[in-house]
Copies of this chain bind each other. A is one copy, B any other.
Amino acid sequence: MKITVRIHDGPLAAAERWSVEGAGAVVCFDGIVRPTEAGQPIAGLSYETYDPMAERELARLALEAIERFGLLAVKVEHSRGQVDHGACSFRLRIASSHRKEALAAADWFIDRMKQQVPIWKKPVPVEQTEEMAR
């Protein structure tokens, strides 16, 4: 059983290789910042995390997911600060023996995270970024 949790400043880099002994299913979920929010174009999203509670809560959820779904390993990464649209701000990786529990656990984890983990996002308007670039 293995849990890794990390909050990074800025967008997440491309996923590095992750192999888990005995796994038959590995799910990687990437949350990408979309170019619009509530129908309005945005430059990106800015994430605020309540530290160190955010990491602790993510780890607690990972442990609960492992116990509830019988997983082999969970790795979760989240951004702090600004992430431009098109970039990755959240990555969840789950390894399990079989497929069904890995996919169900990913869905469960993200639902819980949005409810329980102290991470907030706010849209960064397109204008703001353009002004800052001058």
Contacts and interface: CB of A to CB of B under 8 A. Distances in A.
Interface of A: 14-15, 17, 19, 21-35, 86, 97, 99-100, 102-103, 106-107, 110
5 contacts: A14-B17, A15-B15, A21-B86, A23-B34, A29-B103
B27 A31 contact: no
B34 A30 contact: no
Contacts of A15: 15
A24 B29 contact: no
A81 to B, nearest CB: 19
B24 A32 contact: yes
A86 B19 contact: yes
